């Protein structure tokens, strides 16, 4: 299955959003940088707790605020919502290629969203220094995406390279890689 071809599928943001939740998301964008922005997003979440547009909005807000623990909570919630709609296990470790194929038949766009949410979670875990947890998710993604359309295998290579550099003494100790 080509995980890059989503030309013939519905995407998460095409699902109708309750007008008040849509208004609150727009308000949050206008109020960005002010505590009122988070409040507006949380109110939108109360109105549409399983709408992926709301969850993506919360994810982005927390990510750009560098609130990575909150990002992980939202990403996990988005994965669980997606998994339930796709009929796949809530635990990503239990997903196999057969379930992936059935999920693709249900909603290819939602499956792609789910897999990208898992990858996003991996990136956040890397930023938090939780390498083993990130690596587990990336290995699973790489196993499910043999053509590496989602870039998990490539990201694993970067993690491996970075870890091997960390294991050897640096020639110039003043150079440090910091995740942005």
CATH of domain 12-167: 1.25.40.10
> pLDDT tens digits, the chain, 180 residues: what are they?
445 444 556 666 567 899 999 999 999 999 998 999 999 999 999 999 999 999 999 999 999 999 999 999 999 999 999 999 999 999 999 999 999 999 999 999 999 999 999 999 999 999 999 999 999 999 999 999 989 999 999 999 998 888 877 665 555 444 344 554
**Within 10 A of 38 (CB to CB), how many other CB atoms are there?**
18
pTM of the model: 0.82
Say how far apart CA 35 and CA 178 lie, in whole Å: 28
pLDDT digits (tens, 9 = 90+) for 137-179: 999 999 999 899 999 999 999 988 888 776 655 554 443 445 5
Residue 27: per-residue pLDDT: 97
- Could you give the percent of the chain with pLDDT greater than 90? 74
Q: Which of 12, 111, 80 is nearest to 52 (CA)?
A: 12
Collapsed DSSP state (helix, strand, coil) of residue 87: coil
Task: Please give the DSSP secondary-structure letter assigned to residue 107.
Answer: -
Nearest alpha carbon to residue 97 among 80, 115, 82: 115
Length of the chain: 180
Q: Which residues of 44-54 are buried (b: 16+ CB within 10 A; e: fewer)?
A: bbebbeebbbb
The mean of the pLDDT values for the chain is 87
């Amino acid at each position: 299955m080509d995980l890059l071809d989503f030309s013939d599928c519905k995407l998460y943001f095409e699902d109708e959003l309750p007008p008040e939740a849509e208004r609150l998301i727009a308000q949050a964008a206008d109020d960005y940088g002010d505590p009122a922005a988070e409040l507006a997003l949380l109110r939108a979440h109360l109105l549409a707790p399983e709408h992926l547009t709301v969850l993506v909005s919360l994810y982005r807000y927390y990510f750009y605020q560098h609130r990575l623990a909150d990002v992980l909570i939202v990403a996990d919630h988005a994965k669980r919502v997606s998994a339930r709609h796709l009929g796949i296990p809530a635990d990503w470790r239990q997903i196999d290629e057969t379930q992936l194929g059935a999920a693709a038949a249900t909603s290819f766009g939602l499956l792609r969203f789910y897999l990208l949410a898992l990858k996003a979670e991996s990136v956040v875990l890397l930023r938090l220094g939780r390498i083993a947890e990130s690596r587990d998710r990336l290995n699973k993604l790489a196993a499910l995406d043999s053509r590496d359309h989602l870039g998990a295998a490539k990201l694993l290579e970067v993690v491996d390279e970075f870890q091997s550099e960390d294991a050897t003494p640096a020639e110039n100790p003043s150079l440090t890689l910091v995740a942005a």
